[in-house]
Chains A and B, each alone.
Chain A
Amino acid sequence: MRKVALRGLLARRVRLALTALAVALGVMLIAGTYVFTDTINSSFDRIFTSSLAKTDVAVTPNDDLTSDGFEGVDPIPADILQRIQGLPGVAAASGGLFDESGTILDREGEPISNGAPNFIASRAQLDRFEAFDVAEGRMPSGPGEVALDKSTAERKDLEVGGTVDVIGREPRKRYTIVGTVQIAGADSFGGAGVALMTLPEAQRMTGKRGAFDQIDVAAAEGTGAEALRRTIREALPARYDVRTGEQEAAQLSDDIREQFGFLTTALLAFAGIALFVGAFIIFNTFSITVAQRAREFALLRTLGASRRQVMRSVLTEGAVLGALGSAVGLGLGILVAKGLKAMFYAIGFDVPAQGTVLETRTIVVSLAVGILVTLVASLAPALRATRVPPVAALREGVAMPETRSSRLAFPLAVVLTSAGIAALVAALAVVSDTTTGLTLAGIGAAATFIGVGLMSPKLVGPIAAVVGRPLSRRLTGRLARENAVRQPGRTAATAAALMIGVALVSFASIFAASAKETVAGYIDRGLIGDVVVQNKDGFTPFSGGARELLAALPGVDDVAAFRFAQVRIDGEDKGVTGVDPDTIGAVYDVTSGDDVIAGLKDGEIAVSSDYAEDEGLRAGSVLTVRTARRAQLRLRVAGTYEDKAELLGARVMSNETVGREIGASRDSYLFLGLADGAAARAAVERALRRDFPQIEALTAEEFKDDQAAQIDQLLGLIYALLALAIIVSLFGIVNTLALSITERTRELGMLRAIGTSRRQVRSMIRQESMIIAVIGGVLGLAVGVVLAIVFTTAIGDIELHVPASSLVVLLVLSAVAGVLAAALPARRAARLNVLDALAHE
């Protein structure tokens, strides 16, 4: 029996390849994700291990509360270094800086990256602790000198001997490039730009005079690293972390893994979508082949094969197919990992990915997932094969028996769809834990898709009738429509695969459009100033120096800064917004309670009325929080406010308090009120270009466009990843068409014999494909719109906005994709030899 299965596979090689691709593409993204992130992680491991190789103990400020990029930790003052140097067992200790608030400018005066951080780092005081190796030139030795990481220098054409401008907490300054450096053999420090300076210069630029981000300690002869760590630990206050070099490297690696962990999860989610689509295709392909081979199974049964043997024969095919597809996917994944690196490089992240790390886990997961998906998808067709009665072998044209399950399919589909949507609503509205919420949402979406997929055989006819009407005036169109609905189940499953991709794309585009509208609404409602100042990348905070600079300009009437920081309340990390109480009223419209905000005093906090209600707070209550600087900070609640523009969040403090108690000294936005006329705006822009070219001043309209552009960029990325699922579903169309054409060979022969031209045959197949694709598109749009309504309603803060024109474009693209998918099958059908076709069995 196994021989029957394997021979059968070999006899249908092309179909096998197409079906295996359906699994392979999903597996490819799984493997690619793992290889990519493992390679990044191992490269970072190497960087950290090598840069800490000579460090027995590392001392850093405790940044427990600020790991999400919120600032606040104070650097280590020089007297701590002296204290360490005096401890027994210490051979040498020196402090260094590695500060991520820098901005390196390219030759045009623009920031070198949009996203990856730029570091201002100090050259090690003692050579033994130097993490960087000179690649070209030499190390900086004076206040006007800098060395750049080799990747940045090469990418941005910044040559040794030339100059480069760097901005820190201090304004822009021009340096001579005296060298380029590598770290642990890598040209780039994780894609970040590094400007390496002398320690005093780095301390001046970062505003950390006389202080360090890290102290490296070397143990004296005969003292172990762990023993030394304990000595230092005892001598220092708890707000400093003391780790051995190895522990510190491991800690840094963990932090990086956590940061890239999100990326891994996101990419795997898209791989999951592609596999889910692939499962539809495998299911459909097996259903068709099982139906086509009904007589073969019947014959086997008359010859004495048991049901179980028939089933095993089909499942063996599935397993072989899954294994093949997964193996191919694994191979492709390694290539994709390189592609992902290139993609990241293109958008400005030169992530260190040296070599290719292929872990056993990658191989095991890829193969296991691929085979499992294929087996599960072929289970139902395999069961169906066992139900072919032996007498079918003796009769002409037996149909597969209608089973109870297929009669129950429609009601089941309705139940499944409703349950799926209910799960989505629950995931969004009820569950508060993110992981559980996302998992539940995923399950809900999958159930919805399967439900609609099961429903769709009943929908194929009506949709095809409408879609096919304009085509039906011509014979080819009429036949295309009839052929598309001839086997509704088959067309439905094929279309359902495309539906998934289209639904997610339309959902994403509706969601993005709604988000854009909502943000624009916020800006209209909240911003009453003339100009918003923000980092060009849209999110990195910038030096408080900018605020002072702009406030002093003639024509700038009001400046209000907004800072975002983090505190811990009852063990949970919560955001707080820092504002300038004196000036905020002139540039920002708080819905209600603006007097509370304007009256905020040092040591006070204002809370949103919702938050006050949830926590039972009112004016005069005391709220105790933990910050990066203070274990316990008692804040008096000044009152409550409502902010429909959503900029302030649930908790507001004065920038004075935020800066001093939390340590957040950089601003995320400045809202400016300007004097009438163009002069003030021009002065602002001139000043920014001169001193802080990494930040920009935008009018309300420009700010909206900028926010929209950020959403669009994310949307583009999502589209690119969903494209994979859509490609998989197009393979499904190719496969179904190919199988249908095989079935209809004789008919095609007859049509050709009585004078149908090859062109007409091609056009007929193309139109059939187009109808299938448009059915998928229509179903996808419908599901996408429903999902978007569910999401926006459940989230509540977002106004639904349906971009009708994008959806129409999407439908047209589905049709075009259908035509493209038909290219090969149509060619094959047109090429059929008339006589061979007529004689076809």
Chain B
Amino acid sequence: MSTTPLVAAEQLIRTYGTGEATVHALAGVTVELPAKQFTAIMGPSGSGKSTLMHVLAGLDRPTSGRVVLDGVDITGLDDGALTRLRRDRIGFVFQSFNLLSVLTAQENILLPLSIAGRAPDAAWVDQLVGVVGLTDRLHHRPAELSGGQQQRVAVARALASRPAIVFADEPTGNLDSATSAEVLALLRRSVDEFDQTIVMVTHDPGAAAIADRIITLRDGRIVSDERAGDGIAVAERA
């Protein structure tokens, strides 16, 4: 991991409210995410996982600190530039409400490209569809797909525009263990086979185990940062 990091965050602080009621959702987080790595973010409820992800992805602005994504300092970007950044460089998978119910699976997969007005890379999309195993479901609407299938469509959508990084917030939160496994395997494959960079927020230690690296938050701070599986700390911060 000696290359320059794809995402670098410095001293991120995000507070909500003022005075007595101030909540430090992020209380000084510094982290670097190299390319082609699968990072899981864990931590108890309310520890700031989602907030960190939102700030890293340019969906939310930190109260202080800065985020450099793919060489661009995104903390200073205006809304239009952030929108383009998300559209062209970032993929998202949410816990639910990932798909537009009025579009077919295929149209949902191509959605980011349609939004950008870009022609899809047909070979890549075919490959993706094959990998997520939805070849015979492409013309179904979300309501006709199972929860696992829907989430696989969401993953395919996130990968379709070949983003620099994919953020996933509890992508398996609504799924049973078997379907969770399918979705996690898919994410893992995209890192291994397509050199994708992924950041995944999860509650589930089993899900986290599939990642290369697990960052654990508590009260808005990183309390551990270790390589998955072997328990060896990559770095330790207070």
The residues of A with any CB-CB pair to B shorter than 8 Å are: 474-475, 478-479, 482-483, 486, 746-747, 750-758, 760, 834-835, 838
Contact = CB atoms under 8 A, between A and B. Distances in A.
A746 B80 contact: no
Interface stretch (B65-73, B81-89, B202-210): B81-89
A486 B142 CA distance: 14
25 contacts: A475-B115, A479-B100, A482-B103, A483-B102, A747-B97, A747-B100, A747-B101, A750-B92, A750-B94, A750-B98, A752-B83, A753-B59, A754-B112, A754-B115, A755-B88, A755-B90, A755-B115, A756-B87, A756-B115, A757-B83, A758-B80, A758-B83, A834-B59, A835-B54, A835-B59
B86 A758 contact: no
Contact of B111 (A474, A746, A754, A757): A754
Nearest to B79: A758
Contact of A754 (B80, B87, B107): B87
B114 A475 contact: yes
B155 to A, nearest CB: 13
B233 interface: no
A754 B102 contact: no
A757 B84 CA distance: 8
Contacts of B87: 754-757
A693 B123 CA distance: 84
B60 interface: yes
A396 to B, nearest CB: 11
B98 A757 contact: no
A755 B157 CA distance: 12
Nearest to A755: B87
A757 B102 contact: no
A746 B102 contact: no
A478 B107 CA distance: 10
Contact of B86 (A483, A486, A755, A835): A755
A12 to B, nearest CB: 23
Contacts of B84: 755, 757
A462 to B, nearest CB: 17
B77 interface: no
Contacts of A834: 59
Nearest to B100: A747
- Determine the main DSSP class of A at the interface with B: helix
Question: Which of B60, B83, B114, B117 counts the most chain A CB atoms within 10 A?
Answer: B83
A755 B117 CA distance: 11
Contacts of B23: none
B185 interface: no
A753 B86 contact: yes
A479 B80 contact: no
B116 interface: yes
B88 A751 contact: no
Given A835-B54, A838-B94, A757 B80 contact: yes
A753 B88 CA distance: 12
A838 B60 CA distance: 12
Nearest to B54: A835
Contacts of B115: 475, 751, 754-757, 760
Contact of B60 (A483, A486, A757, A835): A835
Contacts of A474: 117
A813 to B, nearest CB: 28
Interface string B19-36: 000000000000000000
Question: Which of A482, A751, A838 counts the most chain B CB atoms within 10 A?
Answer: A838
Given A486-B102, A753-B92, A746 B97 contact: yes
A256 to B, nearest CB: 61
A756 B59 contact: no
A486 B143 CA distance: 13
Given A746-B97, A835-B54, A756 B102 contact: no
A812 B97 CA distance: 36
Contact of B83 (A475, A747, A756, A835): A756
